[in-house]
Structure 1
Amino acid sequence: MEWTSIIAIYLLFWVMAFMVVLPFGIKTHDELGMAKIPGQADSAPGNFRPGLVAIRATIVSAIAFGLFYLNYTNGWITTEDVDLFACAPSVTMGERTLLLLY
């Protein structure tokens, strides 16, 4: 795998991990007992820390990418293992062919 592909795939994992860990640990102003600004949404976060979210995303994406890369090099799960549109076995009866669907 080229190093540019590694960087691109890791960045995709990082963005996905960032979106997954984003809501964890967030509390609203009401939950924290803080005063709200007039016009503020009730669901607005009162303790958003983007640095902490980025650190968590980096850890999760490093683990996920490590598993992806190990699978890429060792071939544990291949495209044939997850082929959802594989041809079903067929039975020929004279001029007609029947597909056996399970």
Structure 2
Amino acid sequence: MSWTSILAIYFLFWVASAFVLLPFGVKTHEELGIERVPGQADSAPANFRPLRIVVGATLLSAALTALYVANYVNGWITTDDLLALY
């Protein structure tokens, strides 16, 4: 597998990981007891921290990419194994 393929797979895992991690740890103004801005949605986050999402997505996608490449090299789960499930 070429390094460009690994980089592309890492990027795909990173984007998916970022979307998965977005709702964790976010609280609304009501949950934190902070006054809302007039016209603000009730569900708007009060403590959104994008750096935390970026770091978490980077670590999670690195682990998932490492597992993917290890599976590719060692052949732990093949397409034949997946087709045998059906």
Query: Normalization by structure 1: what TM-score?
Result: 0.80
The aligned residue for residue 29 of structure 2 is: 29
Q: Distance in 2 between matches of 1:85 and 1:43?
A: 41
After TM superposition, give the deviation of residue 3 of structure 1 in Å.
1.1
Structure 2 residues without counterparts, runs of 5 or longer: none
Give the AA of the match of 2:22. Answer: L
Q: Distance in 2 between matches of 1:43 and 1:80?
A: 45
Q: What does 1:79-90 correspond to in 2, within 5 Å?
A: 79-83=79-83
The aligned residue for residue 52 of structure 2 is: 52
Q: Distance in 1 between matches of 2:4 and 2:69?
A: 14
Counterpart secondary structure, 1:16 = helix
After TM superposition, give the deviation of residue 85 of structure 1 in Å.
8.8
Larger radius of gyration: 1
Runs of 4+ in 1 over 2 A off after TM superposition: none
Matched, 1:7 2:13: no
Matched, 1:42 2:42: yes
Q: Distance in 2 between matches of 1:67 and 1:85?
A: 21
Change (3 A) 1:85 1:71: closer
Counterpart secondary structure, 1:82 = helix
Structure 1 residues without counterparts, runs of 5 or longer: 87-102
After TM superposition, give the deviation of residue 2 of structure 1 in Å.
1.0
Query: Normalization by structure 2: what TM-score?
Result: 0.94
RMSD, aligned α-carbons: 1.4
Alignment: residue pair count: 86
Q: Which has the higher contact order (CA 8 A, sep 6+)?
A: 2
